[in-house]
Structure 1
Amino acid sequence: MSTVLLVASVAAVVWTYVLFPLVTALLGAVRRRPVRTGDVTPSVCVVIAAYNEEKDIGAKLANVLEQDYPAGRLDVVVAADGCTDGTEDVVRSFEPGGVRLLSRPRGGKAAALNAAIDSTDAEVLVLSDANSMLAPGALRALVAPFADPAVGGVAGDQRYLPESGTAVESTGERSYWSMDRLLKQSQSSYGSVTSATGSLYAIRHDLVQPVVDGVTDDFWTSTAVVEAHRRLVFAPEAIAYEPPASSDRAEYNRKVRIMTRGLRGVYLRRGLLNPFRYGFYAVQLFSHKVARRLMVLPLLGVLVGSALRPEPLWQAFTALQVLGYAAGGLGLALRARGLRSGPLAIPAFFVMVNVASARAVWNVLSGRRIDRWQTARSPQVAPPTPAGGIGRPA
């Protein structure tokens, strides 16, 4: 029994972390499907859902209005979801510049987004978080692939702002998402990326489906493109910058929320897991959004399975795993005390992600849904030049 557990667990870990990225890179190299881009300017509505974003929303709106896009083709709408701070007052100050405010009672992000989407007839919807700042030219880069009729949606490139002196160390997460960006580039080369990230993405209006409660809205909305058998591609020049979380606790809570809602979203979109209808994308979706988020289970299987083996080599491997997890725990403890974790940053991030994954799995199994969101990032500052920042796509 221990042998079966060990072999199955090792196979799951190796596929998810090693073989799947390699297969994706290989497909991106040999099955290239170029995307036709052009200097197109479809009518665009930038949709922003906001809950108590007084500190960020003014900078965000100024940033969007500064984009090089024809004014007559650009609409900006902010759906204020029961804000109790000064968010709505800030948005109203931008109304002379063409920004629209939808003031709504607290109902959750899904309801806010649906109301905003229903309020416009623009050809292309651009969705972006209230604290994501667009690099110059990001909007044009985002819509350029819509010159290709096969493209139904475009994912932007989310990056972290350089850390300030008060920001938590996030080396582990930066490294993790830089690797993930490479996956996104390969996926876009041969077909579709798995999904977009909420910092910046665009979708043809006629492909949008109403967002349901309890799912990550960026996953739900962007995968509607693939469900319609259109391409969801990556635009690396469409850059959106975000600050890191204000603390490890805030980042942990954010990951629990994203993974809980993400697993529910995959369940509701489970038809996309059918390889006979969606080809390799089905494998891609399972590997990227299910196996990776459930990785805590095979990791536990590897630990238990190797510990049950009497051979010295497996016992040494068990000790190595325990040492790695202890290093991650120590890194988190150092960061909790405001100290830098240095070389322990990556194992600390790895441990935090998998603890969050375990919590998310429990939430899903126990039927707990997360339908409301709170801001978890530091206040926004001006983005660096396009050459700055470190990649972090989702």
Structure 2
Amino acid sequence: MSLLFWTAAGLMTATVLAYGLFVISLAALLPRRRPTTPAEPLPATLLITAHNEEGCIADKLANALAQNVAPHRLSVVVVSDGSSDRTAAIARSMADPRVRVIETAEHAGKIAAMQQALATIRDPVVIFSDANSLFVPGALAALLEHFGDPQVGGVCGALGIARRRSGWLGLAEDLYWRYDNAIKRAEHRLGGAVSAQGSLYAMRRELVGAVPPSVADDFFISTGAVTAGRRLAFEPRAVTIEAVSADARGEFGRRVRSTERGWRALLMRRGLLNPARHGAYALQLLFHKLLRRLVPWMLLALFAASLGLAGEHPFYATALAVQAAIYGLALAVAVFPPLRRIPGSSLVFFAVGSQLAMALGLVRVALGRHSSRWTPVRGAAAPAEHS
């Protein structure tokens, strides 16, 4: 039992804390990578896949068209995936020649709609972005600078959380993405980012092929750069701002689906875990993606070992008591939300809920379950999802 306890504790510490601190510290010793700006920026198409996004599509398009990219270098395609609201009509009302709208007759899912739109795009660079995320000034120009380097196959942006409008859940989400962005910045300096997040990333059109159904499209598409022998860069200036949903139940369901799709995409890209072919990238993928998704099972093993060892030594009894208190507080907040006013309870609830969602996501994959289509979770706004 003691071997199980220390193995679980060691793996969890290495995955959650040690890996991040190691790559951040190592990257600090290296010179900064500066993008090779092309003599003339490559033309790019911004692809926005939307389902019932009438509440945010106008702001999204206005924000995109205001970016400091030459008008003849940027076009926008909005594909409305069987929307039953005014998403397509609002997009057309922008009356800008750079904006093209595609409508699908049925709600076929994000990937199917995206594939339909990609078939019409001829620009050498495709920019992917969620409908509800907004770019900070200069985000797209910073993203496109990297394509002056022929070894760069794709570029991922950074995510910021508008937590002032998102309450207690936004605080925890904000802290998570700050840490994740710091790791991505370090990985970029060490060689390249592991994968992109759907709020903003860009790819060379030639590297975007068919995307299998029911996978995390952002992970699958962005890692296509690595499978092609190119580098995936990270641009910290290419920031998008999102507000997470204030609906904890909706957010939990979103995380279960996201984890399920992430596992499926990771399994399809499992060849990238071969260090003989992909070197340091394989280890980065192992720690940043695979082992991180196994943390819930490490926690379960740690709790089981603590339970079995509690009667043998006060240390293990204390460890069990601490874990029980954490899980008990998370459960209490879930049952009685006003308890989130207790300092630290929001972070505990977010952390435990995230781990439970990841565990359920893997269970769904093991059982062969596939997420059905659903309406995107929205509070003030939430990370856009539909399938």
The TM-score with structure 1 as length reference comes to 0.91
Aligned to 2:56, the other structure's residue is in SS state: helix
Answer yes or no: is the 8 Å Cα contact 1:194–1:281 preserved in 2.
yes
* Sequence identity (%): 35
SS of alignment partner, residue 210 of structure 2: coil
- Aligned positions of 1:344-355 closer than 5 A: 344-355=345-356
- Indicate the residue corresponding to 1:107 in structure 2: 108
Asked if the contact 2:245/2:380 (under 8 Å) is kept, the reply is no
Long gaps (5+) in structure 2: 383-387
Instruction: Encode CA deviations 1:222-262: one digit per residue, 9 max, x unaligned.
Output: 01011112111111111111111131112111111110000
Match of 2:358 in 1: 357
How far the C-alpha of 1:330 sits from its partner, in A, is: 3.1
CA distance in structure 2 between the partners assigned to 1:170 and 1:74 by the alignment: 32
Aligned partner of 1:147 in structure 2 is: 148
Give 1:3 deviation, angstroms.
2.7
Q: Is the 8 A contact 1:169 1:340 kept in 2?
A: no
How far did residue 378 of structure 1 move? 2.9
The DSSP-based 3-state class of the residue aligned with 2:132 is coil
In structure 1, the partner of 2:371 is: 370
Cross-structure match for 2:64 = 64
Q: Which residue of 2 aligns with 1:311?
A: 313
Give the match for residue 390 of structure 1.
Answer: none
Q: Which amino acid aligns with 1:327?
A: L
Unaligned runs of 5+ in 1: 382-394
Structure 1 partner of 2:88: 88
Alignment partners' CA distance in 2, 1:372 and 1:154: 28
What is the aligned partner in structure 1 of residue 77 from structure 2?
Answer: 77
Deviation of the 1:322 alpha carbon: 1.0
> Superposition pairs for residues 21-60 of structure 1, below 5 Å?
21-30=20-29, 34-38=33-37, 40-60=40-60
DSSP-derived class of the 1:357 partner:
helix
**Amino acid corresponding to residue 60 of structure 1 in structure 2:** K
What CA distance in whole angstroms lies between the structure 2 residues aligned with 1:72 and 1:18?
45
* Aligned CA distance change for structure 1 residues 380 and 59 (closer, same or farther; 3 Å): farther
Q: Tell me the distance in 2 between the aligned counterparts of 1:118 and 1:23.
A: 42
1:243/1:377 contact within 8 Å kept: no
Mapped partners of 2:316, 2:167: distance in 1: 40
Aligned to 2:300: 300
Report the secondary structure of 1:264's partner residue.
helix
Q: In 1, distance between residues paired with 2:155 and 2:45?
A: 14
The verdict on how the C-alpha distance between 1:202 and 1:42 changes in structure 2, with shifts beyond 3 A counting, is same
In the aligned structure 2, how far is the partner of 1:8 from the partner of 1:355?
A: 20
Deviation at residue 373 of structure 1 after TM alignment: 4.5
1:108 to partner: Cα distance: 0.8
Q: In the TM superposition, what is the alpha-carbon distance from 1:317 to its structure 2 partner?
A: 1.3
- C-alpha distance in 2, partners of 1:317/1:354? 19
What secondary structure does 2:263 align onto?
A: helix
**1:326 corresponds to which residue?**
328
Distance 1:67 1:18 in 2: 36
**Cα offset for 1:340?**
3.4
Report whether the alignment pairs 1:232 with 2:201.
no
Q: Check the 8 A contact 2:168/2:346 in 1, yes or no.
A: no
Q: d(CA) in 2 for partners of 1:320 and 1:139?
A: 46
In 1, Cα distance between equivalents of 2:201 and 2:134: 13
In the TM superposition, what is the alpha-carbon distance from 1:14 to its structure 2 partner? Answer: 1.7
- Structure ranking higher on relative contact order (CA contacts 8 Å, 6+ apart): 1
Q: How does 1:125-204 map to 2 (within 5 A)?
A: 125-164=126-165, 167-204=167-204
